[in-house]
């Protein structure tokens, strides 16, 4: 993070946050009331394309003479480096209970963040000189801090009811993509439209939750589009997606459709099933879809089906479309992990131009002339360097192979609070294009 200058800048160039921090009353109750009424982070103009965001945190124990807090790590998606052995910390304003830090970001940026106040006992240990061992030690230490993470108590942006127990807040620039649809996340859902059932897969030997939601009133239910969404547990338990879908459908922004959300079970199953796993998708086609259709009719045509996912799910969604286009003709891939299985794109990004392309990218480049054409929307963030790089590679491959492919880079990182807006917008565009 970049910190505010200690010296006063030229007259007229000081932002609101810098002005507040230089007030003699900084840290006093009336001063904190002023900050709370405004909300954090404080956003000040920087130049035509950027703003300066300032985070402020009140130490409940008081100033440095009274408080045991020695660091307040800022875990800001796409801004701070959570792989660092010396992560970014806010800075204390001497003699006060004020901690502060600032960063210059794109006016279009959006991201999630947490604050992690720590005492001396939680400071970084002495790390090994061996790079591999050091990385493992750093990760273990960083994960050990997660229980200490807090949401920003001065942030006034609502994330919906599903987020209230979680230690995360949202920051965004003044020109960030519109996510006004997500204001509906606080609304109650018409539970009669939602079915939760368990899928016992003989082919996979697994049992998992599946959510089936019928949105809107269709003239012909059997011809309703299907939206299949991976990592369904995230969109049910962490993000209140269904009230948003219900509200957008009621407003006519989304057509009536069936939404099928599949639970990943756990991290181990997710890592096995989502990266280009034919057995998983064959089980979905042969077992799950017929079960779901008996509960709620929807179209069996690939031309009226969207498959969507994020990260590994974005990789899996495009894999499904490429290998079963007759069933999954429309694909929304968000931050797709198209590096797979060449993990060096992640661990040694500086060598990216020397590395072999990801497996699925190579598959697309080998596409036969008679292969069906997909409609694909890709999204990736400008703060996720490796992912953005391989998504550009995939987009070039899709375009060269004759697919209808659109690629958009948003200002943000590998972040569900970016994906949520792109998910609604991407599905809207894909459904609207259906005949």
* Same-domain status, 189 and 314: yes
Q: Is residue 7 part of a domain?
A: no
The residues that bridge with 102 in the sheet, in sequence order, are: 2, 54
Rounded CA-CA distance 12/414 in Å is 36
* Same-domain status, 138 and 205: no
CATH number for the domain spanning 218: value is 3.40.50.1820
* Same-domain status, 273 and 356: yes
Residue among 149, 76, 83 nearest 112 (CA): 76
The proportion of the chain whose per-residue pLDDT surpasses 70, expressed as a percent, equals 95
Q: Is residue 241 part of a domain?
A: yes
Q: Is residue 320 part of a domain?
A: yes
Query: Which residue, of 106, 141, 172, is where some domain finishes?
Result: 172
Contact between 366 and 330 (Cβ < 8 Å): no
* Same-domain status, 92 and 189: no
DSSP annotation of 22: T
| Planar angle of CA 8, 14, 16, nearest 5 degrees | 120
* Same-domain status, 77 and 205: no
The residues that bridge with 213 in the sheet, in sequence order, are: 194, 259
* Same-domain status, 122 and 194: no
Q: Which residues of the chain have pLDDT under 50?
A: 3-12
For residue 5, what pLDDT is reported? Answer: 39
For residue 374, what pLDDT is reported? Answer: 96
* Same-domain status, 295 and 391: yes
* Same-domain status, 200 and 79: no
Rounded CA-CA distance 364/321 in Å is 11
How many structural domains compose the chain? 2
Q: Is residue 105 part of a domain?
A: yes
Q: Specify the DSSP element, H or E, that contains 57.
A: strand 50-58
Q: Is residue 3 part of a domain?
A: no
Residue among 404, 397, 402 nearest 376 (CA): 404
Host domain of residue 265: 180-432
* Same-domain status, 123 and 162: yes
Q: Is residue 2 part of a domain?
A: no
Residue-level length of the chain = 435
Reported as half-sphere exposure (CB side, CA atoms, 13 A), residue 140 has a value of: 10
Please give the full DSSP string across 150-204, using - where no structure is assigned.
B--TT------GGGTTSS-EEEE-TTPPP-GGGGGGGSPP-GGGEEEEEEEETTT
Q: Is residue 10 part of a domain?
A: no
The β-bridge relationship of strands 42-45 and 226-229 is unpaired
For residue 332, what pLDDT is reported? Answer: 98
Query: Which residue, of 122, 137, 172, is where some domain finishes?
Result: 172
Backbone phi, psi, residue 44, to 5° = -120, 150
Rounded CA-CA distance 179/244 in Å is 10
Backbone phi, psi, residue 115, to 5° = -110, 140
Q: Is the pTM higher than 0.75?
A: yes
Q: Is residue 9 part of a domain?
A: no
Query: Which residue, of 148, 172, 196, is where some domain finishes?
Result: 172
Contacts of 129 (CB under 8 A, 6+ apart): none
* Same-domain status, 330 and 401: yes
CATH number for the domain spanning 40: value is 2.60.40.10
* Same-domain status, 144 and 28: yes
Number of Cβ within a 10 Å radius of residue 242: 23
* Same-domain status, 145 and 257: no
Contact between 367 and 321 (Cβ < 8 Å): no
């Amino acid at each position: 993070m970049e910190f505010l200058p200690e010296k006063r800048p030229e007259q007229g160039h000081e932002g609101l946050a810098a002005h507040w921090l230089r007030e003699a009353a900084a840290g006093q109750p009336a001063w904190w009331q002023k900050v709370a009424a405004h909300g954090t982070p404080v956003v000040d103009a920087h130049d035509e394309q950027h703003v300066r965001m300032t985070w402020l945190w009140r130490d409940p124990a008081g100033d440095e003479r009274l408080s045991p807090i020695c660091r307040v790590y800022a875990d800001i998606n796409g801004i701070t480096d959570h792989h660092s052995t010396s992560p970014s910390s806010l800075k204390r304003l001497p003699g006060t209970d004020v901690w502060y830090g600032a960063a210059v970001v794109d006016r279009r940026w959006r991201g999630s963040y947490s604050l992690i106040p720590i005492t001396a006992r939680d400071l970084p240990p002495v790390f090994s000189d061996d790079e591999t061992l050091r990385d493992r030690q750093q990760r273990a230490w960083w994960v050990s801090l997660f229980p200490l993470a807090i949401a920003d108590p001065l942030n006034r942006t609502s994330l919906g009811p599903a987020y209230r127990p979680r230690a995360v807040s949202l920051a965004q620039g003044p020109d960030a993509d519109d996510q006004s649809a997500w204001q509906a996340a606080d609304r109650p859902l018409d539970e009669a439209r939602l079915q939760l059932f368990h899928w016992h897969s003989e082919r996979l030997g697994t049992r998992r939750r599946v959510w089936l939601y019928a949105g809107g009133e269709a003239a012909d239910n059997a011809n309703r589009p299907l939206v299949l969404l991976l990592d369904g547990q995230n969109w049910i338990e962490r993000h209140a997606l269904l009230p948003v879908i219900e509200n957008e459908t009621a407003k006519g922004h989304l057509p009536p459709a069936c939404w099928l959300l599949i639970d990943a079970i756990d991290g181990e199953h997710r890592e096995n099933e989502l990266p280009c796993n034919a057995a998983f998708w064959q089980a979905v086609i042969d077992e799950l879809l017929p079960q779901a259709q008996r509960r709620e009719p929807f179209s069996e045509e690939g031309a009226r089906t969207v498959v969507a996912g994020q990260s590994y799910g974005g990789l899996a969604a495009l894999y499904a479309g490429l290998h079963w286009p007759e069933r999954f003709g429309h694909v929304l891939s968000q931050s797709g992990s198209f590096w797979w299985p060449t993990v060096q794109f992640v661990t040694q990004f500086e060598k990216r131009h020397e590395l072999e392309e990801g497996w699925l990218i190579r598959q697309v480049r080998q596409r036969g002339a008679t292969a069906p054409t997909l409609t694909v929307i890709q999204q990736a963030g400008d703060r996720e360097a490796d992912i953005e790089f391989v998504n550009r590679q995939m987009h070039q491959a899709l375009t060269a192979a004759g697919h209808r492919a659109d690629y958009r880079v948003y200002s943000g990182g590998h972040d569900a609070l970016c994906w949520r807006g792109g998910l609604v917008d991407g599905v809207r565009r894909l459904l609207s294009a259906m005949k």
